[in-house]
Amino acid sequence: MGFVGLGNMGLPMVRRLIAAGYRVNGYDRAEAASEALVAAGGTAVPAASATARDAEAVVLMLPDSAAVEAVMDGDGLLQAAASGTVVIDMGSSRPLNTRALAARAALRGVRLVDAPVSGGVKGAGNGTLTVMAGGEPADVDRVRPLLEAVGRRVLHLGPAGAGHVLKALNNLMSATHLLLTSEAMLAGQRFGLDPATMLEAVNGSSGRSGSTERKWPDHILPETFDSGFGLRLMLKDMRIGVELAEATGVTPRLGRAATELWSDAADHLPPTADHTEIVNRLRQLLDEG
């Protein structure tokens, strides 16, 4: 198999695949990532298109539709892939772009499955990701063993683009949870409550969420801000989620408001900010009065 994109998520996923017995030809623009692939037992190739050579499946773990299309069209991966190859887009892309790419790929006999994931870097390393798959049932079934090597739950949601729809909506919910959780936690701290005790109480109560169970205790309280998922990537997914809601006739009032606040954070925090650093923008606003 081939694998393009050996970043925070891609590299631990590749390690899982190699451990499961897959022979992986991988590509990443960063030399250090290619070296890490070789150290894990994979083979580094000089171009994205080269990952498709003799491959039954090629995974793309890239940040957005523009990057996927640049690899598929600009770098020639679609042209290099043999008829019958399954390309699996496991990043967060725009669903309509995914559908269009699936149609173009089908003209060449190449199958496309969108299979974005949730669970973060830790889940990628542990093989406990949730995989949200879209595509033809036969294509999803064909690559299911591969997906199960990295995910604890592999759910087929519908035709091409369906996985990317749910991924965007999931991240819209996740980001909104984190924003409200952070506002509540800061309010409690300013009242004099201990944040660790607050989390213990909330996590045994109805207010709990992934933000209170993992993001605050693992990345915000220790101020490591090292979830491995960037703030601007989260904002990109939120915007897709809002657009999808609006396209269906749903008026996402809370989603729009949350997206505006995350956009403000992106304007004021460093370009490399982790998404858990949203709390730092809230602290800045408190300091500004």
> So which residues are the catalytic ones?
167
Cβ neighbors of 131 (< 8 A, separation 6 or more) are 90, 115, 116, 117, 147, 150, 151, 153, 154, 155, 163
> CA 279 to CA 178: how far, in whole Å?
9
Place of tokens 């956009």: 263
CA 56 to chain CA mean position, Å? 23
> CA 230 to CA 158: how far, in whole Å?
28
The answer to whether residues 259 and 242 touch, using CB atoms and an 8 Å cutoff, is yes
The answer to whether residues 92 and 233 touch, using CB atoms and an 8 Å cutoff, is yes
